[in-house]
Homo-oligomer: A and B are copies of this chain.
Amino acid sequence: MVSVKEKKRFSTGRARNPEAFVEVTRPEQLVKILHRLIRAGADRRISAILARLHPADIAHILTFLPIPESRQLIRILFRLRKAAATISELPSGMVHEILEGIEPDIMAEFVRRLPPDDAADILQELPPDELRAVLQILHIDEVNELKALLAYSDDTAGAIMNPDFFALDSQLTVDEAIQKIRDAGDLLESVFYIYVVDETNRLLGTVSMREILLAPGTRILSDALRTNPVMVRVDMSEDKVAEIIAKYDLLAVPVVDEREQLIGVITVDDVIDVIQDAATEGLYRMAALDEEDRVFSSPARSVALRLPWLSLNFLTALLAALTVGLFEDLITEVVALAAMMPIVAGMGGNSGTQTLTVMIRGLALGEIRSLNVRKAVAKEFAVGLTNGICIGLMGGIFAWLWKGEWWLGVLLGIAIVVNLCIAALGGATIPLILRRFKLDPALGSSIFLTTLTDVFGFFCFLGLAAWLLPLIGVI
Contacts and interface: CB of A to CB of B under 8 A. Distances in A.
Contacts of A372: 64, 296
A345 interface: yes
Interface stretch (A97-105, A137-145, A153-161, A223-231): A223-231
Interface residues of A, number: 139
A306 B395 contact: no
Nearest to A54: B248
> What is the oligomeric copy number?
2
A446 B91 contact: no
Interface stretch (A67-75, A122-130, A354-362, A463-471): A354-362
A369 B24 CA distance: 14
A309 B371 CA distance: 31
A391 interface: yes
Interface string A387-430: 10011001100100010000000000000000000000000000
Interface in A267-305: 268-269, 271-273, 275-276, 278-280, 282-284, 286-289, 293-296, 299, 302-303
Nearest to A276: B275
B367 A295 contact: yes
A310 B18 contact: no
A316 B387 CA distance: 16
Contacts of A387: 303, 306-307, 310
A368 interface: yes
A342 to B, nearest CB: 5
A376 B295 contact: yes
A328 B318 contact: no
Given A251-B16, A335-B328, A369-B27, A295 B358 contact: yes
Nearest to A315: B394
Contacts of A289: 354, 357-358
A74 B313 CA distance: 50
A280 B361 contact: yes
B340 A287 contact: no
B287 A357 contact: yes
A8 B343 CA distance: 61
Contacts of A27: 369
Contacts of A347: 310, 313-314, 317
Contacts of A369: 27-28, 64
B317 A343 contact: yes
Nearest to A245: B272
- Top-5 shortest CB links A-B: A279-B279, A295-B362, A18-B229, A249-B269, A20-B228
